Structure 1
Amino acid sequence: MSVSKENKPILLTVILLAAAFVVFFANRLLPQNSIFPSRSGDLTIPLWLFFAIDVGFIVALVLGVRTKKQRVVWFSIITNSIFFVLLSALMFLLAIANGISEP
């Protein structure tokens, strides 16, 4: 199964969006084996994972802009920009929550 060069940014955006949902809901989906400590309130692991996903949205944006199909370019600019801004806002709120919860 080969993905063409023009469709890689779209596929990367979908994978990153799914990864963001998995990281966000990981504590609810797998409470026993969670990577997030629920009692201590330490949010550094989700912050770093969301940061990596945010960088991935920037990479997908650059890959999308470099393609030759106009639909892929516009899709990449619109969706990756929206997801980047929303995830950055979520990371900011998580950083504030992490700062408040630590002694």
Structure 2
Amino acid sequence: MSMSKESKPILLTVILIAVAFVVFFANRLLPQNSIFPSETGDLTIPLGLFFAIDIGFIVALVLGVRTKRPSVVWFSIIANSIFFVLLSGLIFLLAIANSISEP
């Protein structure tokens, strides 16, 4: 089963949103094997994961703009731009929190 070129950016956007929620709520979902260490307060792993997801939103935006269907192009521009800005704000806040918690 092959995916069409028009469905790849939409599917990538949905997958990236799901992964961002899993990374954000990882401490609640898997408290024993958490990527957010509760004792040290080190946020470098979540920062790196959110940065990779942010780059994924840029890739999904580029893939969406290169399609021929106008509805996919508009969805890609609007959705990926909004998610990119929101996740960049979250990364900025996490970076500030990480710098405050470091000795």
Measure the CA separation in 2 of the matches of 1:102 and 1:35: 17
TM-score, normalised on structure 2?
A: 0.98
Equivalent in the alignment of 1:70: 70
User: Does residue 29 in structure 1 map to residue 29 in structure 2?
Assistant: yes
What amino acid is aligned across from residue 92 of structure 2 in structure 1?
F
Deviations 1:10-59 (Å, cap 9, x if unpaired)? 00000000000000000110001112211110000000000000000000
Q: What percent of counterpart residues are identical? A: 85
Unaligned residue ranges in structure 2 (runs of 5+): none
Question: Which residue is 1:55 aligned to?
Answer: 55
Q: Which residue of 1 aligns with 2:19?
A: 19
Rounded to whole Å, the distance in 2 between the matches of 1:19 and 1:2 is 23
Which 10-residue stretch deviates more, 31-40 or 14-23? 31-40
Distance 1:96 1:36 in 2: 16
* Structure 1 segment 71-86 matched on structure 2, within 5 A: 71-86=71-86
Deviation at 1:2, TM superposition (A): 2.2
Secondary structure at the aligned position of 1:2 is classed as coil
Residue type at the aligned position of 1:58: I
Taking only aligned residues, the RMSD between alpha carbons, in angstroms, comes to 0.6
Report the equivalent of 1:43: 43
Q: TM-score, normalised on structure 1?
A: 0.98
User: Which SS does the other structure have where 2:41 is aligned?
Assistant: coil
- Quick one: which amino acid aligns to residue 85 of structure 2? V
Task: Report how far residue 81 of structure 1 moved.
Answer: 0.0
Q: How many residues align?
A: 103
Runs of 4+ in 1 over 6 A off after TM superposition: none
